[in-house]
Structure formats: structure tokens, C-alpha cells
Amino acid sequence: MDERLRRPRLVGRTSELTLLGERLATASAGHATAVTIGGDAGCGRTRLLHEFLDHLPRPATALLGTCYDGSEPPVPFAPLREAFRDLPDDGADVLAPTDLLHRSRAEVFDRLVTRLERLGRVEPVVLAVEDVHLADRSMLDLLAFLVSNLRATRTLLLITWCSEKLPGTADLRPYVAGLTGDAGVTRIDLAPLCRDDLAVLLADAAGGAIDDALETACWERSEGNPCYALELLAAARAGDRADPRCPLPDTLADLMLARLDTLGCRARHVVRVAAAAGRRVDHRLLAAAAGLPAEALFAALHEAVDAQVLVPSGNGEDYRFRHALLHEAAYAQLLPGERRHILGRYAEELSGPSPARIGVPNGVPTPRLPRLTPRELQVLSLVASGDSNRDIARELFISEKTASVHVSNILAKLGAHSRTAAAATAHRLGVLR
């Protein structure tokens, strides 16, 4: 995050902090309990956990260990070695950090329970393990063992995990579902911030209220993800003038592209074709524009859905990108000529006898070109070429806000609900030469 932004206070997580406090009270009374804290990357799992640990009531012992990626082969029970490293030796024959390397799994499991029981006799213990989606099988088995066997100890076990399927990580949703089936486990799923809370977060980071256009852009692009919003705010304020629609900062672009790069060749092709249509695309329209045999198309779609890049809509007729920034990153990978080609395929489908839906009411394309001003025709041509408002402004030497107004007017006149629908109409009616 840009150094000109300050670290904002925790916003929008009051109910989660209250729940954690209640579970600590339960554990302090001698009834061990566990809490899983999940959510998408950037949702604030770590921030919530550290806010809670930093304000633990005294007396209480906080033990924190983190799972890390990239250790081959992984160090056995590395998060526990980290958590127990600074504890003084109690003189008993119980678990010590070095023992983790030289004892069987069964011994480690039993001795850890014994150590927590001994610590709990002095004061309540909070054992927190972060980023469990990066844990190896032994660590996952140990946490499951603790959930089942920490019953009469004054221990609160906190487990954070990413509910997104990130590149190189396992899908922990079935594992967490199994843990939370236990009566002593509470599940917290961190949702995106609402718009009001996100505005408070951004203003706190900026040291004061920010421009409405910038706040709106951060909200729309981040979809309430606090980390994404702060990165976008920092990038927008990096120049002499705040740029609400600045390019994705490298941190976010790399994160999104890493997910897209896990896809196979055909799945990447389908995602690029979908990106040209906008955030959401009708299945029949996508199938026509992708130009793949049915079996290959469905295999590619399954891959994109399994990777959580595309998500089937509730009506079962179309797909949408799981996050706005994933769409933005996929769209940015399209070459200008590629955009024009894909939009032409969409236009052909929309011009057929039974057009698919692409943001046009009732799936019916506009029968004729409404009266557009010369400037609007210029803007429509650039929209049909796949240009963003930023690109249009640069090409026509106008402000980005003016470009946005022109695009909105064009959509209204064409009766289109998306830029792609307007572009398809322009192709069909010969606006593009």
C-alpha cells in the first residue's frame, strides 16, 4: 500500500469481534471451542485475527503460528514450532518445539493436548493458526484432532483460511465443512464490506474524505473487498492527480493473472471471449462466439468454473466473472484486433433469427440506428473497438468523465444495457468500416 496512505482502523467487523469474545468466554469457563475464519483473499482475515489478539483480556496466553507456501518438503508442524517457540520450558515431559521433528504423529498429537491442558490450568489459551489453506496434510490432521479432543481445556482454537481456490492451494471447503460439523466449532465467513463501511475505510486510510468519483470507482472495482479497495486507492493517488479509473496496480494484476494462468489453453480462450462481452454473458452467445465444439466448450467452462474464474448465474442461462477485477484483468489481455473479431461474432449471433441475450431487453436487437451526434458516433466506434472510457478520452482529447457521459447517452439511445450490446449493434448496422 502507498506510504501516503495510513493504516486504517478495522471497519465493519464489530459483530465478528463480539462473537470471538463470546467464544473466548466459553473457553475460559473450561469448555474448549474452535472458530474458523474464512473469506476471499483480501477480505481481512488476518486483520480481524490480529485485532482480536492485540486486545485479549488479561490474563490469557496467545499462541500464533502461520502456514507458509513454498517449503519443499514442508517442515513438519511448522506453525506449531512458531507458536510454541517463545514459551518457557515448564520442566515437564511435554511438547517442546524440537520434539516436533523427532516424534511420531500420534505422540505429537497427544503431547500437544497435554501441553495445552497444562497451560490452561494457569490461564486461558488462544491458539491461532493462520492461512490453513497452505497447510500440509499432517497439519490439517492435527487441527482436526484438536477440534475433537480439546474438550475440558481452557483453549480457544482459531483457524483462518481462504475460501477461494488460489493457484497452488487445495480446496479446503470440504475440510472446513467437516470441522464445523462438530458441535464445538463456530464458522465465521467474512463478507465484503458494505458501501458505507468501505467509504469509512477509504477516508480513514486517506486521512479525510475522498472525491466521490474516486470512492465510487474503488467501490465498484473492489466490490467491497477492503484490501483490493486500499490498493486501488493507493494506485489512483499515485500521480499528481487522483485517477479513479487507473490501471490495475501490479499487486492486484499479478494476483488476478496468476488465477487466469492456471487455466488450460481452451479455458483461457473461453474466458477471453467472455471478457469481451462484459461482466456477464449468455451461454448461447458465448458458445457462438467461442467457436468450439460442444464437448470442448463444456470442458473449458467446467475448468473455468472449478478455478472460480467464472460462476454460473442463478437462472442457469449465463455466466459471470467471480470478481470485477478478474474480468478487468481478462479483458486487458485482449488485443485490439481480437476484441473487434469477438465483438463481430457476437454481432452475428445477435443478428440471427433468435438472438441470445447480451444486455438488450427481451433479447431483441435494436432494429435501426437512432439519431446519434457525430461525436457519439465517434465514441460508439471506439466502444465497438473495445476501448475503455480512458482510451476514448485519450483518443478524442476529452476528459474521461465526458467520455463516460457520451457512453451512457449512447447506451440509452440504443436501448442497450451494456457496452458490448452497443458494440454488437454498431457492427450489425455498419457503423464500423
CATH number at residue 83: 3.40.50.300
**How far is residue 62's CA from residue 75's CA, in Å, rounded to a whole number?**
22
C-alpha cell at 82: 512458531
274, burial (CB in 10 Å: exposed 0-12, middle 13-18, buried 19+): buried
- Domain closes at, from 174, 189, 204: 189
Tell me the β-bridge partners of 160: 37
Angle 400-414/419-428 helices, nearest 10 degrees? 60
Shared domain check, 146 and 241: no
Which contacts (CB < 8 Å, 24+ apart) does range 25-28 have? 26/156, 27/124, 27/125, 27/126, 27/154, 27/155, 27/156, 28/60, 28/124, 28/154
Shared domain check, 231 and 311: no
Report the number of secondary-structure helices (H) and strands (E) in the chain: 19, 8
Question: What percent of the chain has a predicted confidence (pLDDT) above 70?
Answer: 87
Q: What is the pLDDT of residue 367?
A: 41
**How far is residue 413's CA from residue 425's CA, in Å, rounded to a whole number?**
12
Within-domain flag for 358: no
Contact criterion met (CB below 8 Å) for 276 and 236: no
C-alpha cell at 156: 480457544
End-to-end Cα spacing for the chain: 45
**How far is residue 309's CA from residue 303's CA, in Å, rounded to a whole number?**
9
Shared domain check, 293 and 229: no
Shared domain check, 215 and 200: yes
Shared domain check, 139 and 34: yes
Q: Structurally, how many domains does the chain consist of?
A: 4
Q: What is the pLDDT of residue 225?
A: 96
Name the least confident of 131-135, 269-273, 310-314.
310-314
Shared domain check, 35 and 85: yes
Rg (CA), the chain: 26
Within-domain flag for 6: no
**How far is residue 363's CA from residue 423's CA, in Å, rounded to a whole number?**
15
**How far is residue 385's CA from residue 395's CA, in Å, rounded to a whole number?**
12
Q: What is the pLDDT of residue 2?
A: 52
Q: Which tens digit of pLDDT belongs to each residue from 163-197?
A: 988 887 888 999 999 998 877 899 999 999 999 99
Q: What is the mean pLDDT of the chain?
A: 85
- Domain closes at, from 145, 164, 189: 189
Q: Which tens digit of pLDDT belongs to each residue from 41-86?
A: 999 999 999 999 999 988 899 999 999 876 565 677 889 888 988 8
Tell me the β-bridge partners of 37: 160, 188
| Of 176, 97, 93, the residue nearest 133 (C-alpha) | 176
Q: Which tens digit of pLDDT belongs to each residue from 212-224?
A: 989 999 999 999 9
Shared domain check, 153 and 28: yes
Q: What is the pLDDT of residue 9?
A: 92
20, burial (CB in 10 Å: exposed 0-12, middle 13-18, buried 19+): buried
On the question of pLDDT at 245 being above 90, the answer is no
**How far is residue 377's CA from residue 380's CA, in Å, rounded to a whole number?**
5
Q: What is the pLDDT of residue 431?
A: 55
**How far is residue 148's CA from residue 224's CA, in Å, rounded to a whole number?**
35
On the question of pLDDT at 238 being above 50, the answer is yes
Within-domain flag for 92: yes
On the question of pLDDT at 359 being above 50, the answer is no
Within-domain flag for 353: no
Within-domain flag for 7: no
**How far is residue 273's CA from residue 341's CA, in Å, rounded to a whole number?**
10
Shared domain check, 311 and 408: no
CA distances from 368 to 133, 224, 371 (A): 54, 39, 10
Provide the domain limits for residue 236.
195-246
Within-domain flag for 139: yes
Shared domain check, 224 and 292: no
Confidence of residue 99 (pLDDT cuts 50, 70, 90): low
Shared domain check, 184 and 80: yes
Within-domain flag for 116: yes
Query: Who contacts 181 (Cβ-Cβ below 8 Å, separation ≥6)?
Result: none
Q: Which tens digit of pLDDT belongs to each residue from 362-377?
A: 333 434 456 778 788 8
Q: Which tens digit of pLDDT belongs to each residue from 148-162?
A: 988 888 999 999 999
**How far is residue 15's CA from residue 39's CA, in Å, rounded to a whole number?**
15
Most confident of 229-233, 354-358, 406-410: 229-233
Check the CA dihedral 259-265-268-270 and report its sign. negative
Check the CA dihedral 338-341-347-348 and report its sign. negative
Shared domain check, 251 and 230: no
On the question of pLDDT at 355 being above 60, the answer is no
Can you tell me whether residue 156 is helix, strand or coil? strand
Shared domain check, 256 and 235: no
User: Is there a cis peptide before residue 73, judged by omega within 30 degrees of 0?
Assistant: yes
Q: What is the pLDDT of residue 142?
A: 93
